[in-house]
Amino acid sequence: MHVEIIAVGKLKERYWTEALREYEKRLSAYVDLTMHEVPDEPAPETLSDAERLQVLQREADKIDKLLKPRDGIVLLDIQGKALSSEAWSESYEMLLGEGFGRLVFVIGGSNGVHPDLRKRAHLRWSFGPLTLPHQLARVVLLEQLYRGIRIMRGEPYHK
């Protein structure tokens, strides 16, 4: 399966990139993984609702350029469904059976994602009520993807 990760914002710190590389290496035995970063839109700390929607639209336009019609979209969304690793593994297996050309995981920017993009998601997945830095969310996503695949395949995972 081809898996795409689309994340708003640039990963700068070496420790985050090293963690991602480790999970990319582990996942390479199971999926064809591609990661894309789209620039976040500059925005002041305080935005009106209209300004926030404009920022989200510009970010969504960049994400849309990377999406294809047959993509299965999994949106990381704090308002999404919280899943245990085992439940995530089952959801992943169900998504594989849907016949998507590829699975695309979307991580929005600090202002969230545009409502139209949220509506297009086939699964809205929450890592729980915690607010995670977007860099850490990427690492957690790859770790859970790896763990879910191992669970699905009946392989041990304890690290």
- For residues 126 and 82, the answer to whether their CB atoms sit within 8 Å is yes
Closest-CA residue to 47 (of 1, 138, 2, 110): 110
Do the annotations mark residue 100 as ligand-binding? Answer: no
Q: Is 148 marked as a binding-site residue?
A: no
Long-range contacts of 47-55 (CB under 8 A, 24+ apart): 47/111, 52/111, 53/114, 55/109, 55/111
> Is 103 known as a binding-site position?
no
Confirm whether residue 9 is marked as ligand binding: no
Contact 72, 94 (CB under 8 A): no
123 is in an annotated binding site: no
User: Annotation-wise, does 108 bind a ligand?
Assistant: yes
Q: Confirm or deny that 141 is annotated as ligand binding.
A: no
Please state, in angstroms and rounded to a whole number, the distance separating the CA atoms of residues 135 and 107: 10
Measured between alpha carbons, how far is 77 from 132 in angstroms, rounded to an integer?
Answer: 11
* Phi–psi pair at 41, nearest 5 degrees: -80, 135
132 is in an annotated binding site: yes
Binding site for S-adenosyl-L-methionine, residues? 76, 108, 127-132
Which residues does the annotation place in the binding site? Answer: 76, 108, 127-132
